[in-house]
Amino acid sequence: MEWELGDDDRMLVEGAREFARGELIAKDKVWDEKEQSLCGILPQLAEMGFMNLRIRSEYDGLDCPMEVYSHILHELAYASPAVAVDLSVHNMVGEVLQTFGSEELRRQILPTWGTAESLGTFAISEPDAGSDPSSIQTTAELKGDHYHLNGSKMWITNGLSGRWFMTLARTGKGKKGVSAFWVDGNSNGIERLAIKGKMGQRGSELVSVHLDEVEVPVGCRLGREGQGLQIGLAALDGGRIGIASQASGISEACLDEMCAYAKERQQFGRPIADFQAIQFMIADSLVELDASRALTLAAARLHDAGKPYSVAAAEAKLYSTEACNRVAYRAVQVHGGTGYVNESRVERLYRDARVTTIYEGTSEIQRIVIARGALK
């Protein structure tokens, strides 16, 4: 399906596609095999402008509309879902600072956001607080002009190389007792531990973080005390468009792989593409890919227009990620035994697809968001 874009935006998206398909597919295979961090490529990603796409031009960003940004993440995810999720998280964290940080903090940090040294992390989940961020146990106690943060965070993307942590900590009781903070990763008292053995997207760093008397200046609190949940959920709304874009990129890669293999693989004296069973799997995958893109871009356009988009983002994230898993399943099925070994790209994509229904809000959480919107 073709999508309408202006000439400048089309050039940006086509540049991302050319780079991703020309360089990232091979690199992603190595990152997966060695469970090696992709962060060595961050300087190149920064040079190409991918790290400050969502930052406004007044802070030296590219001011990229969400619709165009979605296309770019889709193209990057086609080649490397790990790169796409790392950049999605980084740009999401930058948007949080841009929206909720003080002007002084924005002026200090955002002009450097497009550099490899300013990698951002979204440190909200905890060992016992995932889908329910209101149950976090990390505390922030105000002592003079600094908060002292204590606690543990879990499943943190970019957590080893990240310089800046956007996190939530408890400053009081209940849901109104959660506040948001901007934490310098170079602060004393931060311990990072890599989580190994991931099923997929193995080039993307995933860590647990322990905070022990980490001092955070009052000026690095985001928003008001007690506004943390609102800030975290607002960030996730935009982030879900990013993950939906990532999922559709994986779906397109799977579809291309299964079409190419079906035309090449011979059985009973002819290509398996001639068989209706294979054709139906390809047809269903194409329909789900196009539907995923339509839902995702609809949410992105609402975001760009300044209209409410939370439910639309949840719909896009739910459908695109669930469809991605179905398409990846079919891709392996079409490849048969070849698709079951790690020399086949669809084996890797199948593993990469699985987590998309889990992070930045599980499918079950998306259904709750959607239902609440319908029942208002």
Q: Are residues 237 and 356 in the same domain?
A: yes
Mean pLDDT, rounded, for 55-73: 96
Q: Quick one: what percent of the chain has pLDDT higher than 90?
A: 94
Question: What ranges in the chain are assigned the alpha helix state H?
Answer: 7-19, 25-34, 42-47, 66-79, 81-100, 103-109, 228-264, 276-304, 310-335, 345-354, 363-374
For 137-161, the pLDDT digits (tens) are 999 999 999 999 999 999 999 999 9
Q: Look at residues 100, 118, 136 and tell me which one is the last residue of a structural domain.
A: 118
Residue 172 lies inside a defined structural domain of this protein? yes
- pTM value is 0.96
Q: Are residues 56 and 141 located together in one domain of the fold?
A: no
* In-domain check, residue 242: yes
Count of alpha carbons within 13 Å of 50, Cβ hemisphere only? 30
Residues 141, 101 share a domain: no
Domains in the chain, number? 3
Does pLDDT of 351 surpass 90?
Answer: yes
Is 295 in the same domain as 330?
yes
Q: What is the pLDDT of residues 293-325, one digit of tens each?
A: 999 999 999 999 999 999 999 999 999 999 999
State the pLDDT confidence band at 376, using cuts at 50, 70 and 90: confident
Domain assignment present for 342: yes
pLDDT of residue 7: 78
The average confidence (pLDDT) of the chain is 96
Instruction: Report, as an integer, the average pLDDT of 36-41.
Output: 97
Residue 190 lies in a domain: yes
Residue 126 sits in the same domain as residue 96:
no
Residues known to be catalytic: 360
Residue 220 sits in the same domain as residue 267? no
C-alpha pair distances (Å), 345 with each of 28, 74, 180: 10, 17, 40
- Decide which of 207, 225, 243 is a domain's last residue: 225
CATH code of the domain containing 341? 1.20.140.10
Tell me whether residue 158 is in a domain: yes
Domain of 215, CATH number, reads 2.40.110.10
Shared-domain flag, residues 215 and 323: no
Q: Do 172 and 285 belong to one domain? A: no
- Partners of 360 in beta bridges: none
**Do 243 and 221 share a structural domain?**
no
Are residues 170 and 262 located together in one domain of the fold? no
**1 domain-assigned:** no
Does the pLDDT at position 1 exceed 80?
Answer: no
For residue 344, the SS3 value is coil
Q: How confident is the model at residue 125 (pLDDT cuts 50, 70, 90)?
A: very high
Task: Indicate whether 260 pLDDT > 90.
Answer: yes
Among 198, 225, 252, residue at a domain's last position: 225
Identify the domain containing residue 266 by its residue range: 230-374
- Cα–Cα dist 234/236, whole Å: 5
pLDDT bin (cut points 50, 70, 90) of residue 4 is confident
**CATH number reported for the structural domain that contains residue 106 in this entry:** 1.10.540.10
Within a domain: 2: no
Q: What are 137-140's contacts with CB under 8 Å, separation 24+? A: 137/170, 138/167, 138/168, 138/169, 138/170, 138/211, 139/169, 139/170, 139/171, 140/169, 140/170, 140/171, 140/179, 140/181, 140/216
Do 251 and 319 lie in one domain? The reply is yes
101 with 209, same domain: the answer is no
Predicted pLDDT at 5: 79
Identify whether 72 is part of a domain: yes
